Structure 1
Amino acid sequence: MKIKATLDRIPGGMMVVPLLLAATINTFFPNLLRIGGFTEALFVNSASALIALFLLIAGTQINIKTAKSSVGKGVTLLVFKWVIGSLVGLLGFWLADSNGLFLGLAPIAIIAAMTNSNGGLYIALAGQYGKEDDKAAYPFLALSDGPFLTMVSLSIFGAMGFATGMFSLTSLIAVVLPLVIGVVIGNLDREMGDFLNKGSDKLVPFFAFALGMGINFEAIIKGGLSGVLLGVLTVLLTGGIGYLIFKAIGWNPIVGASEGSTAGNAVGTPAAIAAANATFAPIAELATVQIAASVVTTAILLPIFIGFLAKRVEKNGGLAKYNERN
């Protein structure tokens, strides 16, 4: 049975198949693997640890030259995703109906879903299609975690004031530190860096599965068609425009498209916003389920979208021409 060959034929297969398999198990048999011990530790609770290890290994391959590239890519990813999500959200406020909805979507759901990306998906996709400085751009994306950027957007729109406690320097350091340790190891001992790098690709299906164990397909039902629409728009707009921006700059466009997702922690954003400004309380519950549906939709759709984009790039000269550049 040729499992790897089969996965390789599926767009984003090494990521999407384990993720969907786990999501199916979590939806219909949620306690099947939650039995404690090594089983639960590996298949349910390992995502954060494996992603941290993935980052550390990526760091071992970074020198000063690629570090500059990582900063540029990370900042570009962070800024363009925030700008796109904010502009679409602003359009939602302008064109909202009498119920305060745009295309059935709460504008705060649009901003939260489009500005907050799934770091695990980005790491997996950048690891599969990009190179070390693409993976090392991830820590900058941690700035989008939680409600902070959504509240900045709302503040700019004049809808509410800035709220304190929405960004933690400690949390940012906690994300960056594994990468920094990897950089130190790789620059102190090149052989050790090469040794660690041999196992990085093998981590992808394992943390993809663990990510899937946090997905429940019921979220799509609760969020309805509007939530699915939000997920589709997030993939096509933030992923598609990211693709075009990176291609225009001369960077790997697949990496730019890899930001087209919604993070699970975005689900808590409406409640945080409603707590800071009661004006948003009536719409918070609807926004929450719409974001949850977007999380699931983008987790399924983005790897498939990326797979098709990668085939398109391969027909036009391949990814190698981008991955050979700094």
Structure 2
Amino acid sequence: MKIKAGMEKIPGGMMVVPLLLGALINTFAPGLLRIGNFTEELFVDGALTLIALFLLCAGAQINLKNVGVTVGKGFTLLSTKWLVGGLFGFIAYAFAGADGLFLGLAPIAIIAAMTNSNGGLYVALVGQYGKSDDRAAYSILALNDGPFLTMVALSIFGAMGFVEGLFSIVDFVAVLLPIIIGMVLGNLDEEMREFLGKGSDMLIPFFAFSLGMGINFADIITGGLAGVALGVMTVIFTGGAGYLAFKAFGWNPIVGASEGSTAGNAVATPAAIASANAAFASIEGIATVQVAASVVTTAILLPLFIGLLVKRLEKKGKYEAYMGR
């Protein structure tokens, strides 16, 4: 039985198939794999550990001569996503109705969902379609984890004052350190670089499945059509902007598009904002379920969107050229 070959026929299959399988199990039989010990640690709670190991392997592939490219790509991803999310949030605030909603969407949900990307999904997609410096760019992109950049956008809009304490430099270092360790090992020993390089591809389906075990399809129903629409907007507009930005710099545009998702931890952002400013308390509930729906929608839609973009580039004969950059 050719399981691997069959999965690879699906766009982003080595990531999306395990992820959807995990989501199906979590939705309809959530206790199936939550039986403790090695099974639960690997298949349910292992995502962060496996991603950390993946990042260490990816870091080992970075040549210090090219580290500037990694930083440039990371800040391009980060700034592009934040600017697009902030722009849509500004439009939503400017044209919101008396109920504080814009076309049924809470502006705070738009900013939270569109400025915060799913790092695990990015790593999985770039692990399949990108290079080592693209994977390592996640160390910069991780700055959009949590409510920090949402708070910055809101403070710029004058909706609230800047609140300290929502961003920790320790958290940023904690993301960066596995990459640095891998980079040191790879640059000290070429054989170690080759050895660790073998681990990257193998880890993808395992942490993708574990990520799926954190997704519940019921969130789409709870969030309603508005939440699904927010997820579609996030994929098309933030992913599309990343694609165009990377293309403009001559980098692989598929990597830029891979930021077009909403992170699971963004679900907590409306509550964090409301706790800092009571003016947001009235829309905290609806904003939370809309962000949750966007998380699930983007997790399903983004890999398919990436697959279509890859096929488009292949049809034009440009994909192989980008893979070399």
Task: Give the TM-score, by structure 2 length.
Answer: 0.99
Measure how far apart 1:199 and its partner are.
2.1
SS at match of 2:66: helix
Give the corresponding residue for 1:278: 278
Over the residues paired in the alignment, what is the CA RMSD in angstroms?
0.8
Amino acid at match of 1:60: A
Query: How big is each residue's C-alpha offset from its partner over 1:89-126, in whole Å with a ceiling of 9 and x where there is no partner?
Result: 00001111121111110000000000000000000001
With over 3 angstroms needed to count, the CA separation of the structure-2 counterparts of 1:65 and 1:322, relative to structure 1, is farther
Shift of residue 323 of structure 1? Answer: 2.6
Q: Which amino acid aligns with 1:203?
A: L
Match of 2:145 in 1: 145
* Cα offsets for 1:192-245 (capped at 9, x unmatched): 110110121011100000000000011111100000000000000001111111
For residues 319 and 163 of structure 2, what CA distance do their matches in structure 1 show? 43
Corresponding position of 1:157: 157
Distance (whole Å) between structure 2 residues aligned to residue 78 and residue 179 of structure 1:
18
| Counterpart position of 2:21 | 21
Q: Please give the alpha-carbon distance, in whole angstroms, between the structure 1 residues aligned to 2:321 and 2:235.
A: 25
Runs of 4+ in structure 1 off by over 6 angstroms are none
Q: 3-state SS of the aligned residue for 1:166?
A: coil
Number of the residue aligned with 2:76: 76
Q: Distance in 1 between matches of 2:70 and 2:85?
A: 23
Structure 2 residue 89 is matched with structure 1 residue 101:
no
Deviation of the 1:322 alpha carbon: 1.8
Q: Is the 8 A contact 1:129 1:319 kept in 2?
A: no
* Maintained 8 Å contact 1:240/1:260: yes
2:118 matched residue in structure 1 = 118
In the alignment, the residues of structure 1 paired with residue 65 and residue 316 of structure 2 have an alpha-carbon distance, to the nearest angstrom, of 28
CA 1:199–1:318 in 2, change beyond 3 Å: closer, same or farther?
farther
Identity %: 70
* Deviation digits for residues 122-157 of structure 1 (CA, Å, limit 9, x no counterpart): 000011000000000001111101111001000000
User: 1:215 maps to which residue?
Assistant: 215
Q: TM-score, normalised by structure 1?
A: 0.98
Amino acid at match of 1:261: S
In structure 2, the partner of 1:202 is 202
Q: Are the counterparts in 2 of residues 69 and 133 from structure 1 also a CA contact under 8 Å?
A: yes
Aligned to 1:234: 234
| Displacement after TM superposition at 1:67 (Å) | 1.0
C-alpha separation in 1, matches of 2:109 and 2:158 = 17
Structure 1 CA distance for aligned equivalents of residues 292 and 157 of structure 2: 24
The yes-or-no answer on 1:309 pairing with 2:295 is no
1:36-95 per-residue CA deviation (whole Å, 9 max, x = no partner) reads 111111111111011001110011111123211100000000001000000000000111
- Shift of residue 320 of structure 1? 2.4
After TM superposition, give the deviation of residue 248 of structure 1 in Å. 1.5
- What amino acid is the match of 2:278? A
Q: Distance in 2 between matches of 1:309 and 1:323?
A: 13
Task: Report the Cα offset of residue 318 of structure 1.
Answer: 3.7
After the TM superposition, which of the residue ranges 180-189 and 7-16 deviates more from structure 2? 7-16
1:321 CA displacement = 1.1
Alignment partner, residue 66 of structure 2? 66
In structure 1, distance between residues paired with 2:243 and 2:164: 34
Query: What is the number of residues matched between the two proteins?
Result: 325
CA distance in 1, matches of 2:306, 2:103: 26
Cα distance in 2 between the residues matched to 1:318 and 1:38: 44
Deviates more, 1:292-301 or 1:57-66: 57-66
CA apart distance, 1:11: 1.0
2:133 counterpart residue number: 133
Q: Which residue does the alignment assign to 1:268?
A: 268
Contact 2:54 2:199 (8 Å CA) reproduced: no
